[in-house]
Amino acid sequence: IKDLVPKAYKPKKGQVQMELSGKVFRTFNASITLDEQLEKMASEDLEDMKPEQKLKFYNDCNYQVAILCNHSKAPPKNFGEKMEERKGKIEDMEKELKTLEKECKKEKDTKAKEKLQKKVIQLKTRIGKAEVEVQMREKLASVALSTSRVNYIDPRITVAWCQRNNFPVEKIFPKTLRAKFRWAMDEADEDWKF
- Residues labelled catalytic: 152
Q: How many CB atoms lie within 10 A of CB 86?
A: 16
Q: How many CB atoms lie within 10 A of CB 34?
A: 26
Integer Cα distance of 128 and 68 in angstroms:
30
Is there a contact between 64 and 88 (Cβ–Cβ < 8 Å)?
no
Integer Cα distance of 110 and 108 in angstroms:
6
Q: How many CB atoms lie within 10 A of CB 69?
A: 19
Integer Cα distance of 176 and 161 in angstroms:
20
Angle at 84 between CA 81 and CA 86, to 5 degrees: 110
